[in-house]
Amino acid sequence: MVPSLDAVRHDSRDGVGYPGRRDVFRLPALSASVADARGRVRACLTEWGVDPELCDDASLVVTELFTNAVRHTDSEKITCALQVCGAVVRLEITDQGRGTGVPEPCAAEADEEGGRGLLLVSVLSLAWGSDPADGGTGRVVWAELAPHHAP
């Protein structure tokens, strides 16, 4: 995969990770960028040999988290970090702040078109949450996913 012009590649963060198994990229905070983020995550995970079902889950999760960052923050750019460590995929979406608060799942009514994104994230993820971004502005919303195992 060819890195985007705005890409930053890291081999590890906090001593975790493997060379070539982490990708960080920035995109404009626009609705049109959601598809670009989803495509990049899917391409990286496929290139790294990640299970196709886990690629599907990660694609859905990055879509939801990136969309929330576009809709609920006043960011100009959004950073997406993707890391594979063993069987776990970690996604991090970092906005530039100026949002309305901490992300929480909400109870959407049956006839509402939106409001279920974080519920989907919570169902597909081993864990998810949010932390203040480095530097004091913005927020990192992260999710960790693993392959499904039959009972």
Q: What is the pLDDT of residues 97-119, one digit of tens each?
A: 765 566 565 555 555 555 556 78
Residue 115 lies in a domain: yes
Residue 126 lies in a domain: yes
| Cα separation, 147 vs 53, whole angstroms | 7
Residue 10 lies in a domain: no
pLDDT tens, position by position, 40-91: 999 999 999 999 999 999 999 999 999 999 988 889 999 999 999 988 999 9
Confidence of residue 138 (pLDDT cuts 50, 70, 90): confident
| 91 contact partners, CB below 8 Å, separation of at least 6 | 41, 58, 61, 62, 65, 80, 81, 82, 142, 143, 144, 145
The parent domain of residue 95 ranges over: 22-145
- The reported pLDDT for the residue numbered 9 is 37
Residue 81 lies in a domain: yes
Residue 129 lies in a domain: yes
Q: Are 99 and 74 in contact (CB under 8 A)?
A: yes
pTM (predicted TM-score) = 0.78
Roughly what angle, to the nearest 10 degrees, separates helices 52-72 and 33-47?
A: 150
Residue 87 lies in a domain: yes
Residue 137 lies in a domain: yes
- The reported pLDDT for the residue numbered 8 is 38
Quick one: what percent of the chain has pLDDT higher than 90?
52
Residue 99 lies in a domain: yes
| Cα separation, 23 vs 79, whole angstroms | 10
- How many domains, in total, are found in the chain? 1
- The reported pLDDT for the residue numbered 83 is 95
| Cα separation, 25 vs 33, whole angstroms | 12
More reliable by pLDDT, 151 or 48? 48
Q: What is the CATH number of the domain that holds 33?
A: 3.30.565.10
| Cα separation, 142 vs 83, whole angstroms | 11
